[in-house]
Amino acid sequence: MISHVVGCAMSLTLLFTMFSGCVRGEGAPPLIGGLPGRAAATTSLDGRWMYICDPYDQGRIDFLSRPRSDGFWQDRHPRDERERVEYVFDDSHTLEVPGDWNTQDEQFFFYEGPMWYRRSFSYAPDPARTRAFLCFGGAATVADVWVNGTKVGGTHEVGFTPFHIEITDTVREGDNTVVVRVDNTRRADQVPALITDWWNYGGLTRSVSLVRTAGTFVRDAHVELSRTRPVVNGWVQLDGVGMAKAAVQVTLEHAGTIQVITDERGIARFEMDARRVPRWSPTSPVLCKFDVQAGDAAFSDRVGLRTIETRDGDLLLNGERVFLKGICIHEEALSHRGRAAGEADARELLGLARELGCNYVRLAHYPHDESMLRVADELGLMVWAEIPVYWEMEYTNPRTLELAKTHLREMIGRDHGRASVIIWSIGNETGEDADKTAFRTALGRYVKELDGSRLVSAALFARQERDSQGRLRRMIVDDPFGEVADVLAINQYVGWYHDQPESIRDVEVELAWNKPFLISETGAGVRAGRHGSEDAVWSEAFGVRYYREQLGWALGLEVCDGISPWILKDFLSPRRPLYGVQDWYNRKGLVSETGERKQVFFEVQRRYEACDR
């Protein structure tokens, strides 16, 4: 049957905006934000890439800081002994992709600046697949790409989200070279800006691939459960010369098959019967096969169908109240040093969260690798996904706001199909002056334009109220962003950064709005294996004392709808130089950097097991 045109909470605003990355450079070709077809032919370009470390950026500018026309992207080699070329990509200097350079070679541990990557690939024409794309899962932080010495795409300035560049007119039969300049220099107008509490990893930190498609392909597709009717709403987006008025077949497991026709923009919206569709949840993370066929072009995915909403201050999953027993996670691997990437790392991290007793994870403080969201779908873990609007930034700078919006657009563009994602967070611990409130409010409203099917939040501070003896009595959640947020959330470290762990016992929480409330962070630094009394900071015993008080309070707090302790594992941070204890690690992890479980891990695990909320 031909479907009716229907509404969809996943706004078509996203459809029209997510296909352009954050491009710098006048006249630059657009960067494509949507992956061109999940059934397209894909060749991995992961593995060893040659590199040149370039701290003075001489591959881009000359000694007078003028742009060069013969930069490293030319990948030149001397034609004979008379020609002088003062750089070379060489097999003896390689880095693994995906991967950060900081932990692959000790000389780059603290390095911040440009790094040039180079590798070759072979290409053979295929009449069935006439278009070619280079697809980057992420490059930290600013990336420029050349193919066979020709610049392709613009400058991508968002280090945690994917970008894809069409190279159909640049690639040639036979051998080809791709050169990528990646620069992780911190800048005041970027997102994040100059100071964070995590490592500033640099490099091609996520997978790179060559994707080939037909002239017209399925760029993306989406399905979601209606909150008010027993139907699935969805859309399909085609790309190419044949995208208008095209016949498309959509099949969703348990819902059936329908035929739709695209409009002039290559978009078709549809509605399907959802009465037999199983609902995704932490206790039953059912994924349904979702297929789209448009001529020779195909798209395939596995999706969960569920609703998430708030009502009268409650958090509802599939119409039923849910309590979030969570943990925060940074994107650092368990089995090796450095940034996590790929399915194996995701399964280790999220498997540990499940072992802890979690039904929820907060992925801090930036979009994580796509594998994390897909594995979360499989394991039944609800997800808080966040962009790195963090601490101090240039909140009055329009460019900074646009970069933050690009983070949101590209994160949502990639992960809109993941049932695990229930909350989009626009930031962490920003404070609340007028400029910051305007900035955050703009982002919160932008998220709702892009995706009305999920909830919006941010990790805020509470205002503290003390009695005449200076004892903490009340935490008041009245940050102005709460007006826009669907879920209120605060970070609090009572007993670590101030007061004693027992100070939390009688603290009341006052909410300025009748909305769900989360403890988005709480934690204490513990060095694994460190002995000492319950009064000795950094000791295992102090950590157990801290969580005994915090979880005893939070899990019994009627107004609380969930908690995510900070953090699953110790992670690298330039702000943690205490030798013999921190050694450049933030020690608030429930496990060490090598995965050794601290006593706090078992304390949280016991508390979650006993919690019947």
What pLDDT was estimated at residue 29?
Answer: 46
For the record, the structure tokens of 189 come out as: 């107008």
* Structural domains in the chain plus CATH codes: 17-213 (2.60.120.260), 215-309 (2.60.40.10), 320-523+551-567 (3.20.20.80)
Grade residue 40 by pLDDT with cuts at 50, 70 and 90: confident
Is 2's pLDDT higher than 90? no
User: 240: which residues sit within 8 A by CB, 6+ positions away?
Assistant: 131, 214, 215, 216, 217, 266
Q: What is the DSSP string of 363-388?
A: E-SSPPPHHHHHHHHHHT-EEEEE--
- Residue 3 in this model has a pLDDT that exceeds 50: no
Helix and strand element counts for the chain (H, E): 7, 33
Question: 490: closest CA among 454, 452, 526, 464?
Answer: 464
Question: Which residue from 537, 553, 530, 534 is spatially nearest to 545, judged by alpha carbons?
Answer: 534
Whether residue 37 is predicted with pLDDT greater than 90 in this model: the reply is no
- Model confidence, pTM: 0.95
Compute the average pLDDT of residues 580-587. Answer: 98
Whole-angstrom distance, CA of residue 152 vs CA of residue 144: 8
Q: What is the mean pLDDT of residues 298-314?
A: 97
pLDDT at 39 over 80: no
Query: What average pLDDT does range 377-393 have in this prediction?
Result: 99
- CA angle (365, 368, 372) in 5-degree steps: 130
Q: What pLDDT score was predicted for residue 41?
A: 87
CB 323 within 8 A of CB 613: yes
pLDDT score for 36 = 60
Residue 222, CA distances (Å) to 267, 268, 382 in order:
11, 11, 19
Closest CA to 428 of 233, 261, 198: 198
In degrees and rounded to multiples of 5, residue 437 shows phi and psi of: -65, -40
CB 160 within 8 A of CB 129: no
User: Is 80 exceeded by the pLDDT of residue 185?
Assistant: yes
Q: How far is CA 228 from CA 139, 232, 304, 318, 516, in A?
A: 40, 11, 18, 11, 20
The phi and psi torsions of 365 (rounded to 5 degrees) equal -110, 35
Low-confidence winner among 3-7, 73-77, 329-333, 603-607 (lowest mean pLDDT): 3-7
Is residue 404 packed enough to be buried (19+ CB in 10 Å), middle (13-18) or exposed (0-12)? buried
Pairing of strands 231-239, 267-273: antiparallel
pLDDT score of 346: 98
Rounded average pLDDT over 361-369: 98
E strand spans, 226-285:
231-239, 247-252, 256-261, 267-273
* Residue 15 confidence class, pLDDT cut points 50, 70, 90: low
CA dihedral 591, 594, 596, 597 (to 10 degrees): 20
CA distance readout (Å), 324 to 4, 394, 588: 37, 33, 20
In this structure, what are the phi and psi dihedrals at residue 236, rounded to the nearest 5 degrees?
A: -130, 140
Q: What is the mean pLDDT of residues 512-541?
A: 99
Distance between CA atoms of residues 554 and 547, nearest Å? 10
